[in-house]
Amino acid sequence: MRRQGIALTVLALSLGLLAGCGGNNSENGAQQEGAASGGGAAPSSSAAASPSAAKEPTKIQIGNLFPNLDVNNPVMKELSVRTNTTFDLITVTGDRNQKFDLWLASGDYPEDTLVLKPDYVEKYRTAGALMPLDDLIEQYGPNIKEKYGKYFDLLRSSDGHIYSLYVPKLSTEPSPLLQANFAVRYDVLEDAGYPEIKTFDQLYDLLNTFYESNPSIDGKETIPFAGFDYYGNGADNLSSPTFDASGLVNQGNFTIDDENNAQLLYSTDEMKRYYQFLSKLYNSNMLDKEFFTLNSEGLVKKITEGRVLAGYFPSWWVQPEVEKVLRASGDYDHQYAYFPITFDSSAENKSFTSLMTRSNWNWVISSKSKHPEEVMKLLDYIFSDEGQILINWGIEGRHFEVKDGKRTVLADFNEKKAANPDLQWTETASPFMGTSIYLDHGTKLADGDYATPTTKESVISGYDDRTKEVLAKYGKEVWSDFLPKIQLMPALLYQLGDIEDVRADMKRLQQAWLKDSPKIIFSKDEQEFDAKWDSMQKSLEKEGAAKATDAYEQLWATTMERYQTILQ
Amino acid sequence: MNIRTKLFWTNGAVVVILTASLTFCLENYARSSMLDTLQESAGHSLSQLAENVDSALRSYEQVADYLYMDDLLQDRLLKKFDTYPEAHEEYFESVKPQLYSISSSTEIRDIAIYTDNSSFHVGSIRPLEEMSGLGLSQVQSCLEGGEVGTESLRTWSVSRDHPERLALTQRLNHLNSRSCLFLHIEMDASKVTDLIKMEGERSRFLVLLPDGASVMDSVEGSAESKAELIASLASAEGGRIVNLEGEDYLLNAQRLSSRNSVDGLQVASLLPLAELEAKTSVIRQMAILFFLLMLAAFAIVNFIVSGRITRRLRQLSSKMRRTDMDSLQPIGHVRGNDEVSHLGHMFNDMVNRMQRLLGEVYESELREKELQLRTKEAELYALQTQINPHYLYNTLNSIRGNLLENGDRPNAEIVGLLAKSFRQMLGKSGGTIPLAEELGIVETYLRIQAFRYPDRLRYRIDVDEKLLRLRVPKLSLQILVENAIVHGLEPKESPTTIVVSAEMEDEAILLRVEDDGAGLEPARAAQIQAKLSESSEDGNHIGLVNVHQRLQSFGSEYGIRLAGKPGEGAEASMRIPLYERIGTT
């Protein structure tokens, strides 16, 4: 009895002790919890060879191009859930190329995956920053293989390995978003009675007329023709319009003729002709003085101030940056019509191309990744039909519905999007948006429905009445109706990356070109123009134009051969 | 309520009160000290944050330092150009690459130089007029024309066009102290706000520039409450509680003062007090939990211990209660060596003593009775011894002889009878004598009595010969006859006849003495009968009582019975068991 009592007492006391200690622990836990909220990234779990359903989500670090993207928007969350991952976005702000270069210099590129243009893919590859993807695709990339089918080798680079991912072009219809790149404002056209502008002379006259009667708007000078520096590149402001204006396929820094001969763009007559046009504009005070120094933001500002009448506005820039803003502010009359203007309207305009792959902003897996399988699985998921619907359409019930067997964007979501162009960042955007991992508009998935909501009908319905009115004046429904035949190309030269041997030469050539171009365009008269042009040509020759041209011509030839075999 | 329950509850009450107050005090102390620690740490992390903000800003000021010292650049910027293309060329040649390389390496969002040199407005070199909105005096004096001051300028502000950016403005007047060249760098305020986000998601932060503009605040609230908040910041160093939109916050503010450019910049943090208290409320919960557990454990232990302590007491108590006052018994040995066992022992001692006392009283009573008896016996013996039968008998015989000599025959007869009577009565003392002897005594007695009452007494003895040998108590018949004479004859004037008879009846001898004397009232008979059974102390009827009781001791059917009719006579009968049973008493 005594012993029992003692035992019981001891038990009771130790219970009390435990309670006290337990109290301390949970207290500490609560404290730690509170202090660590919002703290640094948790270490990502190690990748398992065969993932099970109860596995911890993998943290994937992604290089993201969109500063406004909300990583917790519904689509991102859903993607997280479906692929059992969480996202750590490393966002690129400002000059992208600068950023990519600095990342490479410091080795601070995102740990898992990032998106790069083909030339930077090549840079990164040679610097050893990329993981070869062949084996990973074999094991974890069934959707990638399925989408490519027998054209799987299109993913390979010149050394035969795969370093970046991009989708093939599967659509049979052209993208309804295609439009020409030379833009002219509605009111200018209206003033002139809606002429269809086909040549630069026409354009010049049109602008001149309008400028004379409207030298200023709201106290600020009118700018008949404008351009911007393409995020520090500067080159695209001069090269792309040259190709378009000449009806040539845009091969980057070179022109390539039907016999696969290459010529340095900066030496071509085509460029000279375009420069002459610009110079003419400049001497008539119709070219924006800040043509070479203005950034995107600055140009948008000038446009929204209503000062800019025309310019070379590529669709990938004007649609998100300009059209949305003008529509949202109701400034319909200051929107732009897009014409495929060329110097020689009788010649065939081949400048609008369609490629076998959509290689442009391609996805790579960094060599630092600790769980490349998980990254590949994520990227592969985006390749699947489900993934495409998620990143292009959004979430069923929230962004779209299936009406009469067809996917349709929900009406009220559509309205909200039109009123607030930034809604996409908090609703449907992902780092994959707009990159080469989404199937082109007009592609149909296995279920027979479109991969993206952008169809001719959706584009038309997105037009405001003024736009429809203007289009109607030309008897067109959409801007792509103005386009000439689309050229099917296996690849483009600028996608093939740098050639190491001549990289320095190319750099010098480009610098000489960019330095001299403004001088040429600012020439007071024809004499000065020719002199300055010749002077540039001399510099280019000195800097090794011939060597570079040969190298790239060779590259083109070998690439064409390779593609012949693949496409057989 | 029994003692165990009392003990349990008293113990319980005391312990609960003590422990509760202890727990309460400790918990309060712990909570407040934890709160203090949290507040302190909030203050520390704010200091750290302020440091971080300071150094983030400093890294951009280094760019300003660099360009300020760059005389070559300033020289270029002050050059006058004749044509735009020339200026354009110079810009592309030298200024643009430099600005480009600076902005690329430091994540500057925008870098611009504002100048009043109208011939060199190309690209990032912009007209000074665009800066007039900033309200900087140095800029104003440049724009107004006339004498230009030489004051330097380095200041942080919020970008006008992009409120999410911080702007650093630096006058580049190293080469020429009157030059109106102003460097303007814009960086993402997120550089600063990211530092803040790392602190915690639920705290709110404010970063205020010296000019009062807020760089960043994650405070949700109306403009008025924010303005109030900003006003109260001045006195918030070291932590204060403020109320913002109905919720209490701990406000901590830190002022930067390491450099002129950041002097006056304030970083403030607002910690929701509820969050702080939520953390500390865990302590309270744990304290309560612990207290309850301890209470439960204590209740169990208390219950057991109180039971054990009081068990012996209770056992003692129940044993005592069971004690019969009439037949006191000790309660048995109580084990142990404490007060309870003392009580037990004392009780037992008491009981034993009481038993002894009772015994003594009983004994003494008995002894007293015996004493009385002995006294009487002694008296009797004394009487007996005083009376020497021979002495009496001889004396009486002498008298008788004398009387005979004198010729007094009647008196001589009487004396002779008396002598006989004495001889008979004082003869062998024994309990029983044969009936014949007894009858002899009776007859002698009767003859004597006849002498007294010559005309009144008549008697007859009617006893069967066979019965003469049966033994009867000595003087038993004689007593009855004596009574008959005293109570039957003497009151009656007329002659009375006494008949003495004996007969056998059911293994007993029935001796009868009848008289036709005064008689006996039945009530009186019953009374006397009753008195016979009592052991009365008074001297009356000792003889009858004695005989009756002696006979009764052999059975209730034996003894003396009286009966009578008033005026007609009485009968005293005596039943005696056969001498075998009487024995030798």
- Cβ-contact B492, B559 below 8 angstroms: no
Q: Does A522 touch chain B (CB under 8 A)?
A: yes
Domain boundary among B274, B289, B304: B274
- pLDDT tens readout for residues B202-229: 667 777 887 766 666 666 556 666 667 7
CATH code for the domain in which residue B473 is found: 3.30.565.10
For residues A248 and A383, membership in a common domain is answered with no
Distance CA B116, CA B128 (A): 5
CATH code for the domain in which residue A72 is found: 3.40.190.10
In a domain, A342, yes or no: yes
Nearest to B89 among A15, A31, A519 (CB): A519
In a domain, B56, yes or no: yes
Helices B542-552 and B476-483: angle between axes, nearest 10 degrees: 140
In a domain, B250, yes or no: yes
Residue with tokens 């009848």: B514
For residues A377 and A251, membership in a common domain is answered with no
Q: Which two structure tokens, joined as six digits, stand for A165?
A: 């991912």
- Cβ-contact A254, A265 below 8 angstroms: yes
Domain boundary among B246, B274, B302: B274
In a domain, A433, yes or no: no
- Cβ-contact A4, A11 below 8 angstroms: no
Residue B135 phi, psi dihedral angles, 5° rounding: 70, 30
Q: Does B104 touch chain A (CB under 8 A)?
A: yes
Amino acid at A312: Y
- pLDDT tens readout for residues A65-99: 998 898 899 999 999 999 999 999 998 887 788 88
In a domain, A555, yes or no: yes
For residues A475 and A345, membership in a common domain is answered with yes
User: What strands lie across the sheet with A58-64, from one edge to the other?
Assistant: A85-91, A58-64, A113-116, A362-365
For residues A382 and A325, membership in a common domain is answered with no
- Cβ-contact B430, B474 below 8 angstroms: yes
Mean pLDDT, 10 residues at a time, chain B of 585 residues? 88 92 89 83 83 87 92 93 91 90 82 92 90 82 82 86 86 90 89 68 74 66 66 65 75 82 82 76 85 92 89 83 76 80 86 87 88 80 68 85 90 88 72 85 89 88 87 83 86 88 86 87 82 66 75 82 85 81 49
In a domain, B563, yes or no: yes
When scoring A8, A305, A513, A529 by the number of chain B Cβ atoms within 10 A, the one with the most, hence best to mutate, is A8
In a domain, A26, yes or no: no
Burial label, B102 (beta-carbon count in 10 A; 0-12, 13-18, 19+) = middle
**Cα dihedral sign, A537-A538-A539-A541:** positive
DSSP string covering A380-399: HHHHSHHHHHHHHT--BTTT
For residues A186 and A68, membership in a common domain is answered with no
Domain boundary among A399, A415, A431: A415
Report the gap between the CA of A12 and the closest CA in chain B (Å): 5
Residue A157 backbone zone (phi > 0: left; psi -120 to 50: alpha; other: beta): beta
Show residues of chain A in contact with B11, CB under 8 Å.
none
Q: Is A358 helix (H, G, I), strand (E, B) or coil?
A: coil
Chain-chain contact of A26 with B282 (C-beta, under 8 angstroms): yes
Domain that holds residue B507: 448-582
Which residues touch B487 (CB under 8 Å, ≥6 apart)? B517, B518, B520, B570
In a domain, B258, yes or no: yes
Domain that holds residue A150: 58-163+362-415
- Cβ-contact B23, B290 below 8 angstroms: yes
In a domain, B334, yes or no: no
Chain-chain contact of A93 with B197 (C-beta, under 8 angstroms): no
Name the closest residue on chain B to residue A512, using Cα atoms.
Answer: B93
In a domain, A176, yes or no: no
Show residues of chain B in contact with A34, CB under 8 Å.
275, 278-279
In a domain, B332, yes or no: no
For residues A193 and A233, membership in a common domain is answered with yes
Question: For position A48, what pLDDT does the model report?
Answer: 40
For residues A120 and A154, membership in a common domain is answered with yes
In a domain, A109, yes or no: yes
Report the gap between the CA of B6 and the closest CA in chain A (Å): 20
Domain count, chain A: 2
Nearest to A38 among B123, B200, B283 (CB): B200
Maximum pairwise Cα distance, chain A: 122
For residues A371 and A244, membership in a common domain is answered with no
For residues A244 and A347, membership in a common domain is answered with yes
Show residues of chain A in contact with B188, CB under 8 Å.
93
For residues A382 and A322, membership in a common domain is answered with no
In a domain, B577, yes or no: yes
In a domain, A431, yes or no: no
For residues A397 and A332, membership in a common domain is answered with no
Question: For position A31, what pLDDT does the model report?
Answer: 40
- Cβ-contact A16, B294 below 8 angstroms: yes
Residue B94 backbone zone (phi > 0: left; psi -120 to 50: alpha; other: beta): alpha
Q: Does A232 touch chain B (CB under 8 A)?
A: yes
Domain count, chain B: 2
In a domain, B546, yes or no: yes
Show residues of chain B in contact with A19, CB under 8 Å.
289-290, 293-294
Mean pLDDT, 10 residues at a time, chain A of 568 residues? 67 61 44 36 38 75 91 93 93 84 91 92 91 93 92 85 92 86 94 93 94 90 92 86 92 90 93 95 93 91 94 92 89 93 89 88 94 94 94 92 89 85 89 92 89 88 90 92 87 83 90 92 93 95 92 91 82
Domain boundary among B240, B274, B308: B274
Question: For position A305, what pLDDT does the model report?
Answer: 93
In a domain, A113, yes or no: yes
For residues A342 and A375, membership in a common domain is answered with no
Helices A526-542 and A269-283: angle between axes, nearest 10 degrees: 140
* β-pairing verdict for B471-473 and B432-434: antiparallel
Q: Is B513 helix (H, G, I), strand (E, B) or coil?
A: strand
Name the closest residue on chain B to residue A301, using Cα atoms.
Answer: B161
ipTM exceeds 0.85? no
Q: Does A219 touch chain B (CB under 8 A)?
A: no
